[in-house]
Homo-oligomer: A and B are copies of this chain.
Amino acid sequence: MDERRAIAVKISRHTVSLSEESLEQLAGMLIPRKLTKGELFLKEGEVARSMGLVAEGMIRQFYRKKKYEITEHITYEDHLFVCLESFIRQEPAYLCVEALEPCLIYEIPYIPLHEAMDRNPEILRLYCAVLESSLLISQRKADARCRQSAVERYRQLECEHPQIIKRAPQIYIASLLGMTPETLSRIRAGRI
């Protein structure tokens, strides 16, 4: 009777199966948006009305602290980004989102997503799986961060996200890794 096929969606190493219907529901709510290099997708103080799926290009999320900018995330093709506290609570964001390259983003807006999650537990389950996966990564990062040396943090990023090392400006990489640009430069020169 039921001839709908199930699709396996892989999130990190976790696999969630999704009916074609759910997949269509999800696809239906995506809003494509192009960004030029340097363009802001979201400014601090605005509410993050969407999560973003990067289809092409690279973006960074950063905040200001004593007139310095601190880069908190860098995201590229096939990865989700979201200003979490703003999106979850629909409150003003402290993060800005900026395109480091010309980008194609698919926005996943809050309201349709939550309506779909209310109607369709399968989509809620997928959202859960994304959260679980993000939480795993984030907890590991939180633990490792203050125990690793600058070199170790750099090597780990190099290993996990070579694209960031290749394509992002060093000042942002340094900021993302919590070190000064000078230190990053020395690490790259093999002088550390």
Give the B-binding residues of A (Cβ under 8 A). Answer: 13-14, 70, 72, 84-85, 88-89, 118, 121, 124-125, 127-128, 131-132, 134-136, 138-139, 141-143, 145-148, 153, 177-178
Contacts and interface: CB of A to CB of B under 8 A. Distances in A.
Contacts of A145: 142, 145-146, 178
B146 A153 contact: yes
A85 B133 CA distance: 9
Q: Give the most central of A85, A88, A138, A148: most B CB within 10 Å.
A: A138
A147 B70 CA distance: 10
Contact of A131 (B135, B177, B178): B135
A2 to B, nearest CB: 17
Nearest to A148: B146
A125 B120 CA distance: 12
Q: Give the most central of A134, A142, A145: most B CB within 10 Å.
A: A142
30 contacts: A13-B89, A14-B88, A14-B89, A70-B147, A72-B143, A84-B139, A85-B136, A88-B136, A121-B121, A124-B124, A124-B125, A124-B128, A127-B128, A128-B128, A131-B132, A135-B138, A138-B138, A138-B139, A141-B142, A142-B142, A142-B145, A145-B145, A145-B146, A145-B178, A146-B146, A146-B148, A146-B153, A146-B177, A146-B178, A147-B178
A175 to B, nearest CB: 9
Contacts of A178: 145-147
Nearest to A141: B142
A110 to B, nearest CB: 13
A33 B139 CA distance: 26
Contacts of A13: 89
A153 B145 CA distance: 13
